[in-house]
């Protein structure tokens, strides 16, 4: 793995030992940033299932100013820290070992708002639509914030989720990248239709 573009272009990134994580491949990572816009003018990004930190680091290299990375596994946190140090992004990042639900609650109390959010959970995990709604209801998203959901091809998300509109979707092997734009949400709104898994 490597940083594809920007100030840290070409820097190698370490992977988490073992099979517990599946890092986003360089091909998929390049495709993601071609879809959401190759470069950014500041802002804060949240990587809620950070793994190696590769997606957040790529965003920082391309102009995102601040990173918040969360993972519940110590091995991942150790690798993320090494990768942040390798590219010179350690001072721009906050790194937390926690599960997503607790992390969101803690971050919401601080009033943080995010321009870009990566949701790349463990294999075949669902619930990212609910996670998106939670971020919106806790007022953690900037207007027109982008949400990048990387998920198994057996998991299907709606084109419209309360407060969000899917703007792109692309399949790469057994991985699908779904990209949503935040369009605003009322505190009384909650979707009743959530992700499904194709068991066929």
Question: What string of DSSP letters covers 66-124?
Answer: EEEEEES-HHHHHHHHHHHHHHT-GGGEEEEES-HHHHHHHHHHTT--EEEEEE--STT
Mean pLDDT for 139-148 is 97
pLDDT recorded at residue 182: 98
How far is it, in rounded angstroms, from Cα 43 to Cα 64?
5
The pLDDT score that the predictor gives to residue 91 is: 97
Delimit the domains of the chain by residue range: 33-146
Q: Are 117 and 141 in contact (CB under 8 A)?
A: yes
- Mean pLDDT score, 66-90: 97
Report CA torsion sign: 150, 154, 160, 166.
positive
Confidence of residue 23 (pLDDT cuts 50, 70, 90): confident
Q: What is the mean pLDDT of residues 76-82?
A: 97
If phi > 0 it is left, if psi is from -120 to 50 it is alpha, else beta; for residue 43 that is: left
* Per-residue tokens: 124: 């075949």
Domain 33-146 architecture? 3-Layer(aba) Sandwich (3.40)
Does the global pTM surpass 0.75? yes
What local confidence, expressed as pLDDT, does residue 188 receive? Answer: 60
Mean pLDDT of 16-27: 77
Beta bridge partners of 93: 67
Reply yes or no on whether the pLDDT at 15 is more than 70: yes
Give the pLDDT of residue 198.
Answer: 64
> Residue 42: is its pLDDT beyond 70?
yes
Q: What is the pLDDT of residue 163?
A: 94
Distance CA 86, CA 81 (A): 9
């Amino acid at each position: 793995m490597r940083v594809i573009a920007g100030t840290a272009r070409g820097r190698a990134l370490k992977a988490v030992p073992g099979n517990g994580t599946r890092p986003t491949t360089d091909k998929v990572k390049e495709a993601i940033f071609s879809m959401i816009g190759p470069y950014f003018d500041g802002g804060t990004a949240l990587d809620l299932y950070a793994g190696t930190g590769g997606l957040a680091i790529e965003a920082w290299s391309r102009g995102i100013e601040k990173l918040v990375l969360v993972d519940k596994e110590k091995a991942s946190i150790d690798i993320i820290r090494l990768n942040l140090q390798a590219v010179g992004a350690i001072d721009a990042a906050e790194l937390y070992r926690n599960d997503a639900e607790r992390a969101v609650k803690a971050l919401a109390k601080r009033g943080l708002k995010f321009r870009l959010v990566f949701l790349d959970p463990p294999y075949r995990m669902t619930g990212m639509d609910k996670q998106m709604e939670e971020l919106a209801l806790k007022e953690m998203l900037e207007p027109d914030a982008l949400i990048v959901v990387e998920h198994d091809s057996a998991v299907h998300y709606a084109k419209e989720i309360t407060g969000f509109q899917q703007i792109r979707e692309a399949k790469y092997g057994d991985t699908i990248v779904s990209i949503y734009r935040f369009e605003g949400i009322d505190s009384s709104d909650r979707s009743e239709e959530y992700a499904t898994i194709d068991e066929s």
